């Protein structure tokens, strides 16, 4: 462990999917998937029924098949999502996207805001060379403080990545 400009620097920082997504969303998705399997079984064995219009039958088949195929993939993504922030760069899993700090074009801090009556906490975005957001660390993440310290460490080593005043105030310690 070393000291960054703002405090102790953990290495590496692992940001995972929010706890509510793992604890609440995943079991609900699993229950929905089991229900869709029962619905698919019923469609295969008994059909939709003689009085059901053909369009409603087609929609039922498409929706049930779509959910049966999609939900396991979504559950896998929730359980395996990891954003690993190290001294030299970041890695996002699944997908094994690796980007060195020197390959980033910008570090962008955004304030807490309200969007369509929904409160959104502060966040820090990592911007790639093409201007796209490749990762985002949100204030609601349990690892927010450690992730913010790592991004501050990057900002102290690569001050050219800090482009605007708000980000400079949040990431670069005054007097440095």
In this predicted model, what pLDDT tens digit does every residue of 50-108 receive, in sequence order? 888 989 889 989 999 999 999 999 999 888 889 999 999 999 888 888 989 989 999 99
Contact 4, 149 (CB under 8 A): yes
Cα distance between residue 143 and residue 137, in whole Å: 9
Split at pLDDT 50, 70, 90, the class of 2 is: very low
Q: Say yes or no: 141 and 93 in one domain.
A: yes
**What burial letters (b/e) apply to 26-39, b meaning 16+ CB within 10 Å?**
beebeeebeebeeb
What average pLDDT does the segment 18-30 reach?
A: 86
Would 9 be classed as within a structural domain?
no
**Residue-number span of the structural domain to which 141 is assigned:** 85-171
CA distances to 56, 91, 131, 161 from 88, rounded to whole Å, are 54, 10, 20, 14
Task: State the CB neighbour count (10 A cutoff) for residue 111.
Answer: 11
Q: Say yes or no: 147 and 99 in one domain.
A: yes
Would 14 be classed as within a structural domain?
no
> Structure pTM?
0.74
Q: Which position has the token pair 């349990």?
A: 142
Q: Say yes or no: 75 and 125 in one domain.
A: no
pLDDT of residue 35: 94
Would 124 be classed as within a structural domain?
yes
């Amino acid at each position: 462990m070393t000291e960054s400009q703002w405090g102790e620097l953990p290495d590496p920082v692992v940001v995972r999917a929010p706890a509510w997504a793992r604890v609440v969303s995943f079991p609900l998705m699993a229950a929905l998937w089991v229900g869709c399997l029962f619905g698919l079984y019923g469609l295969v064995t008994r059909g939709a029924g003689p009085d059901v219009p053909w369009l409603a039958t087609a929609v039922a088949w498409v929706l049930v098949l779509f959910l049966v195929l999609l939900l396991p993939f979504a559950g896998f993504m929730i359980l395996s999502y990891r954003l690993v922030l190290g001294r030299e760069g970041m890695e996002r899993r699944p997908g094994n996207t690796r980007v060195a700090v020197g390959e980033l074009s910008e570090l962008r801090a955004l304030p807490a805001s309200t969007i369509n009556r929904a409160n959104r906490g502060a966040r820090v975005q990592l911007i790639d060379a093409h201007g796209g957001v490749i990762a985002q660390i949100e204030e609601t993440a349990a690892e927010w403080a450690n992730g913010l310290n790592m991004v501050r460490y990057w900002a102290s080593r690569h001050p050219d990545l800090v482009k605007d005043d708000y980000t400079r105030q949040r990431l670069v310690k005054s007097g440095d």
